[in-house]
């Protein structure tokens, strides 16, 4: 995992080792901040481009609004800063992590009415999120003993730093039990998403994904919904249960880091039918191939304005 040597910190590009923060940082104590995860890809026509950068930065600004934090940067400033950071690191293909948090100021839960906020953008190179084997053969999931909090406890429309303790606990539990990833239920027992991915299942040609109530509104999820609608598939945004997903023909996870990750097993039960039991199914395999082409500018019929060149 090679890290970029340069970071963007409060409006300037700096060597990463010079961007230091204080132990009195409010966001470190209380998790009051927000982040994004974005990927840039090498393009077929040459050079690099950032996939759906504007949509990620819109969600970043909405996370700040949910937290009632003001930052002095516009959508366009953040888009430009991201491109500049990738250029400063010489990366054409990388993961991009914008982060904002309440900075050094008075400690105590109350950060005051106009707290100081730091904003940074970092880069690193990141391979398959659930490992190369998970990406190609399919990952193994376990329903977590941790649940996604009620919608009045966690702000699901924001990518809020402190909320990720729930994801870290679920992920560590799943890994310790020999699985690749956790699937979390909501307080009523319906499936929601993985620790860092959205969830899809396919049965009898009908594609289902969990509703936006208790999940992050994933940008990859939306890309996949647009893709399936374009191809004329029936797609339902609806709740489903663990026994329904055990009997699915195909299951996959979506996310910027995870991209399209097929699922081969859930709770020790192999997923799929016929020739595809315990293997990625045909619709998932085609989606995975097409997603990989789309982000590299090889399928211009999907979102012509989804790729921001790193120039
Ligand atoms: N749900 C959660 C909880 C989540 O964290 C992510 C992204 C998604 C769904 C998918 O959202 P999107 O990337 O917009 O399609 N998780 C990010 C962070 C992963 C991490 O380990 O850090 C990511 O994929 O970048």
Q: In this structure, what CATH number is given to the domain that contains residue 221?
A: 3.20.10.10
CA distance 244 to 191: 10
CA distance 34 to 39: 17
Domains held by the chain: number: 2
CA distance 264 to 271: 5
Does the C-beta of 251 come closer than 6 Å to ligand 1? no
pLDDT of residue 1: 74
pLDDT of residue 253: 98
Q: Which residue's alpha carbon is nearest to atom 16 within ligand 1? A: 196
With the most atoms of ligand 1 within 8 angstroms of its CB, the residue from 34, 191, 197 to mutate is 197
Does the C-beta of 256 come closer than 6 Å to ligand 1? yes
CA distance 163 to 154: 7
159 flagged as catalytic = yes
**Domain encompassing residue 178:** 132-294
Which residue of the set 159, 171, 208, 288 is catalytic?
Answer: 159
Strand partners, 237: 209
pLDDT of residue 303: 80
Does the C-beta of 97 come closer than 6 Å to ligand 1? no
Does the C-beta of 257 come closer than 6 Å to ligand 1? yes
Same-domain pairing of 67 and 149: no
Nearest to 62 by CA among 152, 157, 131: 157
- Write the CA distances from 181 to 113, 243, 266, 282, 306, integer angstroms: 39, 18, 10, 22, 28
Question: Does residue 46 form part of some domain?
Answer: yes
* Tens-digit pLDDT string for the chain (311 aa): 799 999 999 999 999 999 999 999 999 999 999 999 999 999 999 999 999 999 999 999 999 999 999 999 999 999 999 999 999 999 999 999 999 999 999 899 999 999 999 999 999 999 999 999 999 999 999 999 999 999 999 999 999 999 999 999 999 999 999 999 999 999 999 999 999 999 999 999 999 999 999 999 999 999 999 999 999 999 999 999 999 999 999 999 999 999 999 999 999 999 999 999 999 999 999 999 999 999 999 998 888 799 999 99
Q: In the numeric block, which tokens belong to residue 21?
A: 């923060």
Strand partners, 19: none
Same-domain pairing of 203 and 155: yes
Question: Does residue 310 form part of some domain?
Answer: no
pLDDT of residue 304: 78
Nearest to 195 by CA among 167, 214, 215: 167
């Amino acid at each position: 995992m090679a890290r970029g040597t340069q970071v963007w910190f409060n409006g300037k590009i700096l060597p990463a080792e010079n961007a230091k923060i204080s132990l009195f940082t409010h966001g470190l104590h209380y998790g009051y901040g927000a982040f994004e995860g974005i990927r840039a890809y090498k393009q077929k026509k040459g050079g690099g481009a950032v996939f759906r950068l504007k949509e990620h930065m819109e969600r970043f600004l909405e996370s700040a609004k949910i937290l009632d934090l003001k930052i002095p940067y516009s959508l366009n400033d953040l888009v430009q800063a991201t491109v500049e950071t990738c250029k400063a690191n010489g990366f054409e293909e990388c993961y991009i992590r914008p982060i904002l948090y309440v900075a050094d100021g008075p400690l105590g839960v109350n950060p005051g009415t106009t707290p100081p906020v730091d904003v940074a953008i970092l880069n690193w190179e990141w391979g398959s999120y659930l490992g190369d084997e998970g990406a190609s053969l399919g990952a193994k999931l376990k329903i977590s003993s941790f649940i996604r909090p009620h919608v009045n406890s966690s702000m699901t429309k924001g990518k809020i730093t402190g909320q990720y303790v729930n994801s870290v606990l679920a992920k560590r539990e799943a890994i310790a039990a020999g699985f690749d990833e956790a699937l979390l239920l909501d307080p009523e027992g319906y499936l929601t998403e993985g620790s860092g991915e959205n969830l899809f299942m396919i049965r009898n040609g009908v594609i289902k994904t969990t509703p936006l109530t208790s999940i992050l509104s994933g940008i990859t999820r939306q890309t996949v919904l647009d893709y399936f609608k374009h191809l004329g598939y029936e797609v339902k945004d609806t709740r489903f249960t663990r026994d329904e997903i055990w009997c699915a023909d195909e299951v996959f996870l979506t996310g910027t880091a995870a991209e399209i990750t097929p699922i081969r097993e859930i709770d020790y039960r192999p997923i799929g039918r016929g020739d595809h039991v315990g293997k990625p199914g045909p619709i998932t395999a085609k989606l995975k191939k097409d997603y990989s082409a789309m982000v590299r500018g090889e399928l211009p019929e999907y979102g012509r304005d989804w790729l921001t060149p790193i120039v």
